[in-house]
Amino acid sequence: MSDQIHIRREGAAGRITLSRPKSLNALSYDMAMAIDAALQDWAEDDAVAFVLMDAEGEKAFCAGGDIQSLYDHGRAGDYDYARTFWRDEYRMNARIAEYGKPIVAFMQGFVMGGGVGIGCHASHRVVGDSTRIAMPECGIGLVPDVGGSLLLARAPGRLGEYLGLTADRMGAADAIRAGFADTLVSETAWPELKAALVETGDLSLIAEAAETAPEARFAEQQARIDRIFAAADLPAIVAGLEADGSDFAADALKAIRRNSPISMAATLRLLADLRKSAAGIRDALRMEYRFTHRSMQEGDFLEGIRAQIIDRDRNPQWKHRLDSLGAEAEAILAPLGPDDLTF
């Protein structure tokens, strides 16, 4: 475990450092459980004033979950391994979101999927110039999960639908605007800031180190996004993009046409349901788990991983077409009865 994650107490902080830079700090099951155990240990420890989460390497805070093991078990017919991974990971995500002490996350480089789950639910989310945040799950036959659906549902206008369906990447300014991050701090200042936080426990130092974020890239496209992605279903969104004719719409259309139709349809349903109610992190995770629980047998997860990660032919054979989805999205998000996620 020590070669994957470094957990220790240092000054006023409980420190969690992901240490798999060559694997872009991909989150394994053991890493997720180590984070969860540390948070439980520190919850009642008066010597730990806050938790500081960061990662080694310049390329990524965490580029996602370690999906190779999920694929290998799934191909062998073992679906329970992935279900256990997701169930326990989601409980850890909820613990971060609901934690009674401040959690400060420094997120450089790629922050995707599982990285969003451990970094973007923290109470103090610091990003830098290299940060690129995305929810790319629809490209591998999943839905935005690890609580990411809740963040998307709370994003301005229909930006959540756009980001979830296209998997477009957010720089620091857009991540702050979309609600995935809080503060831009120059990455050259991070070592000194971390040291000061650990020494003093004074989290106001983060605001003092903050820089003014530049204009968010998606801000100028917000009206177009709201108009097109407010449509009722995938075919209507595709038709809106085709009719728009802009380069922005053309790029979005290209992304949507390569992603899993059932995943995108379920994502739209997820965001609509979360937006309609005063949903919280547990509601989002419970709904996400209904999809991931079924994703190998009824969805496109194994085919998505084969095409993107294993064979890398980038030619997935999805089970559905964009224009042929009826009740499938509703069915794949239906309650699981005794298998529903509990906390």
Residue-wise DSSP of 13-66: EEEEEE--GGGTT-B-HHHHHHHHHHHHHHHT-TT--EEEEEESSSSEEE--B-
- Exposed/middle/buried for residue 191 (C-beta within 10 Å: 0-12, 13-18, 19+): exposed
**Has residue 324 got a pLDDT over 70?**
no
Ranges in the chain annotated CATH 3.90.226.10: 5-142+160-209
- Tokens 């309609």 correspond to 276
How far, in Å, CA of 290 to CA of 178, rounded? 25
What tokens does 58 get?
A: 């310049």
Structure tokens given for 193: 């800031």
Per the CB < 8 A criterion, the answer to whether 288 and 90 are in contact is: yes
Q: Which of 65, 148, 160, 171 is catalytic?
A: 65
Residue 96 amino acid letter: I
Number of Cβ atoms within 10 Å of the Cβ of 19 = 16
Query: Is 145 a known active-site residue?
Result: yes
Residue tagged active-site, from 114, 139, 164, 171: 114
- Active-site choice (36, 66, 89, 145): 145
Contact 110, 130 (CB under 8 A): no
Query: Nearest 5°: phi and psi at 97?
Result: -65, -30
Mark whether 330 is an active-site residue. no
pLDDT tens per residue across span 97-135? 999 999 999 999 999 999 999 999 999 999 999 999 999
Residues 197-229 have pLDDT tens digits of 999 999 999 999 999 989 999 999 999 999 999
Beta-bridge mates of residue 52: 15, 104
Query: Looking at 137, 161, 174, 288, which residue is catalytic?
Result: 137
Q: Is there a catalytic annotation at residue 211?
A: no
68 band by pLDDT with thresholds 50, 70 and 90: confident
pTM above 0.95, yes or no: yes
Query: Per-residue confidence at 176, pLDDT binned at 50, 70, 90?
Result: very high
H or E stretch covering 183: strand 183-184
State the fold for domain 5-142+160-209. Answer: 2-enoyl-CoA Hydratase; Chain A, domain 1 (3.90.226)
User: Could you identify the residue written with the tokens 């559905």?
Assistant: 320
155 Cβ neighbours under 8 A, 6+ residues apart: 163, 178, 179
- Active site (annotated) includes residue 58: no
| Tens digit of each residue's pLDDT (9 = 90 or more) over 219-261 | 999 999 999 999 989 999 999 999 999 999 999 999 999 999 9
Are 294 and 333 in contact by the 8 Å Cβ rule? The answer is no
Residue-level pLDDT at 323: 80
